[in-house]
């Protein structure tokens, strides 16, 4: 990927994220991200997320396939992110922002709003330059910084799925140190060891974008 193309990609993401302010956001073609595509990307790993419309009596299943683990140049995103801009610039110097691509499907009987803001990458993949100092809070724990999706994004960096509906979601994380695989999941719920690789669907079309707000820790 040439330097100018990478810059255009990053600026495009920046415009989307700035325009959304944490809501549904502006749409952009997935082709502008420069990610590998395939007609039907195979899964790298799978889990089932669950939501409940009634406080836990009924658990609505959302089978979730991981179809991409890769990276995208995110340095210019900082130009559009207000108060977070200086630290995003420093993060960008560490390399490409990590991307985990998900294919979610509502296999239940009720509408579902799976929250994705607490899906994290294992902190031991933090680059040495960020394992201490002002960038450490981005890695301990390593929560997503932003999300891009084929459906509007809600306040927890998730999407709404009606019964039978599917969506592509790309979660952007801080740069990681080189490794053959990553460990990704939800604390005390599930963990997947995922190889780098995969693709996004060639017909994904346009994406919504939004910044992610790290979840608040539970009360002591």
Tokens, residue 113: 């709003």
Is residue 25 very low, low, confident or very high in pLDDT (cuts 50, 70, 90)? low
Query: Above pLDDT 90, what percent of the chain?
Result: 58
Q: What is the mean pLDDT of the chain?
A: 83
Q: Would you say residue 59 has pLDDT above 80?
A: yes
> How far is residue 179's CA from residue 51's CA, in Å, rounded to a whole number?
32
Tell me what pLDDT residue 81 has.
42
Tell me what pLDDT residue 68 has.
98
Rounded mean pLDDT, 21-29: 56
Tell me what pLDDT residue 218 has.
56
Mind listing the pLDDT tens digit for each residue in 101-133?
A: 999 999 999 999 999 999 999 999 999 988 788
Close Cβ partners of 85 (under 8 Å, ≥ 6 residues apart) = 78, 79
> How far is residue 120's CA from residue 64's CA, in Å, rounded to a whole number?
15
Close Cβ partners of 135 (under 8 Å, ≥ 6 residues apart) = 87, 90, 91, 129, 174
Count CB neighbours of 110 within 10 A.
15
Under 8 Å between Cβ of 46 and 64: yes
> How far is residue 93's CA from residue 7's CA, in Å, rounded to a whole number?
13
Query: Above pLDDT 70, what percent of the chain?
Result: 80
Close Cβ partners of 162 (under 8 Å, ≥ 6 residues apart) = 106, 111
Tell me what pLDDT residue 80 has.
45
Tell me what pLDDT residue 19 has.
40
Q: Would you say residue 214 has pLDDT above 90?
A: no
Q: Would you say residue 10 has pLDDT above 70?
A: no
Q: Would you say residue 78 has pLDDT above 60?
A: no
Q: Would you say residue 7 has pLDDT above 70?
A: no
Mind listing the pLDDT tens digit for each residue in 133-188?
A: 889 999 999 999 988 899 998 878 899 999 999 999 999 999 999 999 999 999 99
Q: Would you say residue 76 has pLDDT above 60?
A: no
- What predicted TM-score, i.e. pTM, was given to this entire model? 0.86
Dihedral of CA 163/150/99/180: which sign? Answer: positive
Dihedral of CA 48/167/67/38: which sign? Answer: positive
Q: Is 196 exposed, middle or buried (CB count within 10 Å of its CB: 0-12, 13-18, 19+)?
A: middle
Name residue 182's beta-bridge partners.
194
Under 8 Å between Cβ of 82 and 166: no
């Amino acid at each position: 990927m040439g330097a100018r193309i990478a810059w255009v990609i990053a600026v495009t993401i920046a415009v989307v994220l700035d325009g959304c302010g944490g809501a549904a956001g502006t749409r952009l073609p997935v082709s502008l991200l420069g990610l590998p595509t395939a007609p039907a990307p195979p899964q790298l790993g799978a889990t089932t997320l669950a939501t409940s419309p009634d406080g836990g009596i009924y658990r609505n299943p959302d089978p979730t396939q991981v179809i991409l683990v890769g990276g995208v140049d995110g340095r210019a995103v900082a130009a559009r992110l207000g108060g977070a801009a200086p630290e995003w610039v420093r993060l960008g110097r560490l390399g490409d922002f990590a991307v985990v691509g998900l294919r979610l499907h509502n296999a239940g009987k009720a509408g579902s709003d799976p929250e994705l803001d607490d899906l994290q990458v294992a902190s031991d993949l933090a680059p040495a330059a960020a394992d201490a100092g002002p960038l450490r809070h981005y890695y301990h724990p390593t929560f997503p910084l932003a999300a891009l999706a084929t459906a509007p994004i809600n306040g927890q960096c998730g999407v709404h799925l009606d019964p039978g509906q599917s969506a592509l979601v790309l979660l952007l994380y801080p740069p990681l140190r080189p490794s053959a695989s990553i460990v990704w999941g939800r604390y005390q719920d599930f963990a997947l060891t995922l190889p780098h690789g995969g693709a996004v669907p060639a017909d994904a079309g346009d994406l919504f974008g939004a910044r992610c707000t790290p979840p608040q820790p539970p009360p002591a």
